[in-house]
Amino acid sequence: MENTKTIAKARQGLHGTIEIPGDKSISHRSVMFSALGSTPVHITNFLHAQDCLSTAACMKALGASVEFESETALVVCGHGLHGLKEASTIIDAGNSGTTLRLMMGILAPQPFLTTFTGDASLHKRPMGRVIKPLSAMGAKIYGRENNTKLPITIVPAESRLHGMVYESPVASAQVKSAILLAGMYADGPTTVVEPFTSRDHTERMLEAFGVETKKEGTAVTIEPVDSFRAPEAIEVPGDISSAAYWLVAGSVVPGSSLLLKNVGVNPTRTGILDVLKAMGASVTLENERVSGGEAAADIRVEAAKLHGTSFGAEIMPRLIDEIPVIAVAALFAEGDTVITGAGELRVKETDRLQAITDEFNKLAPGSVEASEDGLVIHGGTKVQCANCFSYDDHRMAMSLAILGTAGEGVEIERPDCVNISYPAFYGTLARLQA
């Protein structure tokens, strides 16, 4: 494994076409849901990265058939909604919070015991936000630190889970999904009410499997489910969180022109497009279409003069993962950018608000100030070359690489964490500079 990676300043702008790798959220769900059906599902453009492979390994351990045809194509077949089997050993969720939180929802109603572990980073992440509502439905889940941290064991419930109305304190697709998935097995309807609407990939994919959810304002309701009608095929659109790095790079590296192919543009995920447009970016959608219930398009981005903007809690569920790279765009914009309502970033793979502040200030001294739940970024601060740390956080590593490309170069310590979501990232960046 490489311990450091040198990223050079782009001299000529970035040019080319990029096939965006499959959406991480949809890749996870395509495998999980297919494993609850009883007919084979052919999944294409699957994201072949560590987190999604953790989900594939989990479903295999629980008795589903998971056969890879290539890195990005696989066939998954389960034994029906009640067909999962007890794993013969502890299940390892790796670095993947999505795998762990959604699997808790699926496994809480099952008649067998499951124990989860994960890597050092996942052991630090808060799981109480999922365990608490599932326990209120009657689930028996035990974990370290008062049932909030890994390792976590799920014991068969004493009776069928109870449907309920849950007022979620956070807008989180993972929390909502875990409760809805458990709700499929409950004795009555289950409703999740959020402060703001979080991404809706679970609801869209449930529909592709013949399961209706009812939406009213920020509330989503699911009725108990008898069976899954698995579709024959799922084509995963490209991940807008991965496209985000090129959207920003194409905007801030002078002379750039990029075409991003097959990007998922689900409206619950396109906050980055709204923010970049508000900053004056030149971003246009082409070839808009729908695949497997998900909107997709090709996106053209050209270098533009950006200016600062402000945004807060309301848009946060639609761009939470993109904050590190939006902070890069803000550095190259004119004026200040003020971000609030982003406290969730303190409990990601690392404390991203602190990491952005510490590392960006090495490259552009005095450019970033952190608050408890946000950032103030002073655009136009002089950028220099520096040695920066990734915190083993894939989104930090990729954001630093884009900052270095647009600035004066950067040395990234522990760069290999990009494999969690985008193994081809550095190779793509080198090709666009060629």
Q: Are residues 202 and 335 in the same domain?
A: no
Predicted confidence band of residue 1 (pLDDT cuts 50, 70, 90): low
CB count within 10 Å of CB 175 equals 24
Tell which of 167, 191, 220 closes a domain: 220
Please, where are the H alpha helices in 72-225?
Answer: 97-107, 120-124, 128-136, 144-147, 173-183, 201-208
With beta carbons less than 8 A apart as the criterion, state whether 245 and 425 touch: yes
Q: Are residues 178 and 258 in the same domain?
A: no
CB count within 10 Å of CB 290 equals 9
Write the burial class of residue 217 (CB in 10 Å: 0-12 exposed, 13-18 middle, 19+ buried): exposed
Its domain, for residue 177, covers 24-220
pTM above 0.75, yes or no: yes
CB count within 10 Å of CB 396 equals 26
Predicted confidence band of residue 347 (pLDDT cuts 50, 70, 90): confident
The answer to whether position 226 is within a domain reads no
Q: Are residues 280 and 383 in the same domain?
A: yes
pLDDT at residue 311, as a whole number: 98
Q: Which residues pair with 18 in a beta bridge?
A: 260
Q: Do the annotations mark residue 25 as ligand-binding?
A: yes
Q: Which residues pair with 191 in a beta bridge?
A: 165, 221
Rounded to the nearest integer, the mean pLDDT of the chain is: 96
Q: Are residues 316 and 413 in the same domain?
A: yes
By annotation, the residues acting in catalysis are 321
Residues 17-55 pLDDT 10s:
999 999 999 999 999 999 999 999 999 999 999 999 999
Across 292-325, where does the E strand assignment appear? 294-302, 310-311
With beta carbons less than 8 A apart as the criterion, state whether 390 and 414 touch: yes
Q: What percent of the chain has pLDDT over 90?
A: 96
Q: Do the annotations mark residue 174 as ligand-binding?
A: yes
The DSSP bridge pattern shows strands 114-117 and 91-92 to be parallel
Domain CATH number, residue 98: 3.65.10.10
Which residue would you say has higher pLDDT here, 392 or 2? Answer: 392
One-letter identity of residue 15: H
Q: Are residues 200 and 301 in the same domain?
A: no
Helix or strand holding residue 288 (H, E): strand 282-291
Q: Do the annotations mark residue 321 as ligand-binding?
A: yes
The answer to whether position 229 is within a domain reads no
One-letter identity of residue 237: P
With beta carbons less than 8 A apart as the criterion, state whether 97 and 122 touch: yes
Q: Do the annotations mark residue 384 as ligand-binding?
A: no
Q: Are residues 407 and 426 in the same domain?
A: yes
Residues 48-97 pLDDT 10s:
999 999 999 999 999 999 999 999 999 999 999 999 999 999 999 999 99
Q: Do the annotations mark residue 23 as ligand-binding?
A: no
The answer to whether position 351 is within a domain reads yes
pLDDT at residue 290, as a whole number: 84
One-letter identity of residue 371: S
Q: Do the annotations mark residue 129 as ligand-binding?
A: no
Number of H helices, E strands in the chain: 14, 23
What is the number of domains present in the chain?
A: 2
Tell which of 220, 253, 286 closes a domain: 220
Q: Are residues 176 and 206 in the same domain?
A: yes
